[in-house]
Amino acid sequence: MSAVAPVSGSPAAPAGPIACDIFCAVIDNFGDIGVCWRLARQLAGEHGWQVRVFVDDLHVFQRLCPSLAPERARQTVEGIVIEHWHEPSHAGDTLEVADVVIEAFACELPPIYIAAMAERARAPLWFNLEYLSAEDWVADFHLRPSPHPRYALNKTFFFPGLGPGTGGVLKERDLDAARAAFEGSPAARADWWRSATGHAPPPADATVVSLFAYENPAVDSLLEQWRDSASPVVLLVPEGRISGALARFFELPSFAAGSHATRGNLSAHALAFTEQPGYDALLWVSDLNFVRGEDSFVRAQWAAKPFVWHIYPQADNAHLPKLDAALAHYTRTLPANARAALERFWHAWNDAGQPDWADLHRHYPALKRRAAAWALELAQVGDLAGNLTSFAKTQLK
């Protein structure tokens, strides 16, 4: 990475492309590395940065990036250097410090790397990229500096968010155009259905639902309601943690990718795990999307379709204020009845009752209009990568 400055003797400011190191620890699931990989690709592809990603679990990463070789300690994928961060003290085979250092989700940089940052002639811009929250306090803490207790270094807190004054959320420049092209092409959609499910697109009167969720006790009731619904429901289920519930409902030994089943007015297709661009197409082809965590939550908003969020559960229900904060933003202009129905459904899906599909579905036209309007509102906050690079340029002059 030619733009990565050595520990000493670095120039006063980056002479070429800005070099960026992103450190990511995979806690569980795919959210952390999913966000980091999207950010890395956008910084490199849209902003011309030279990016290196340190990640501690290459096997999980490979699910999102099939061209990655998990046995290799260092490799380049899509112009981005990937380093296997194989222990907390590890900082690459050659210790180099970038112009911008992103500590994703408080994963803690290697001590040797922090010491090298302090020795650098020009201190790098150090970000702590936080988890997404829609709570009001986020805007107050976004871009606040935090001095290091031992070194002459400042860490800047970068908060993704849904409102003004935050870092926004990730969105590629060509995402809207790609969605419009897909939605405007019956051939593209038909090809997707044949490739993903082995079937032709469903009839026009069917409601297509994608289901991506953590384990959820409410799913059994929802499957029964879809089975008994007045109109057909076509369920698209990415293989994962919810698959066992589908297998039990359809009385199958498993519901692995390629499985198909029908009961009453519900037909379901199990989908293979897909890399990130493939997941966007799933959201676009569906009428309503169940999403979880952070990355799929953001992608559902850009899909401009109604969605239901399964927030990552935390001890003592600490996640519920975050759920309500997101609802407050998203439902702000909905008619009162539609807003109440969506709030009830989101809370039920997050372990606070039984979801009522008929109650939610009767408000679908209003929810659809709001989803499209919300995507436009959210875009006004700016995308996360663009906001981060704009701030970085002011600091690296």
pTM for the model stands at 0.92
- Tell me if residue 32 is catalytic: yes
- With beta carbons less than 8 A apart as the criterion, state whether 270 and 256 touch: yes
Rounded to the nearest integer, the mean pLDDT of the chain is 92
Q: What is the DSSP string of 188-247?
A: HHHHHHHHHHSSPPPPTTPEEEEE--S--TTHHHHHHHHHT-SS-EEEEEESSTTHHHHH
Residue 339 in tokens: 């807003």
Q: How far apart are CA 275 and CA 65, in angstroms?
A: 6
Give the model confidence (pLDDT) of 164-190 as tens digits: 999 999 999 999 999 999 999 999 999
Give the model confidence (pLDDT) of 304-319 as tens digits: 999 999 998 877 778 8
Alpha-carbon distances, residue 213 vs 37, 86, 141, 244 (angstroms): 21, 29, 30, 12
Give the model confidence (pLDDT) of 10-33 as tens digits: 334 556 899 999 999 987 667 789
Categorize the per-residue pLDDT at 63 as very low, low, confident or very high, splitting at 50, 70 and 90. confident
Q: Are strands 207-211 and 288-292 parallel, antiparallel or unpaired?
A: parallel
For the purposes of burial, counting CB atoms within 10 Å of the CB of 312, is it exposed (0-12), middle (13-18) or buried (19 or more)?
middle
Q: Which of 56, 130, 280, 294 is catalytic?
A: 294
Q: Which amino acid appears at position 265 of this protein?
A: N
- Tell me if residue 294 is catalytic: yes
3-state secondary structure of 316: helix
Can you give the pLDDT at residue 28?
A: 64
Question: Hey, what's the torsion of the CAs at 318, 64, 73, 27, to 10 degrees?
Answer: 10
Q: Which of 32, 130, 239, 295 is catalytic?
A: 32
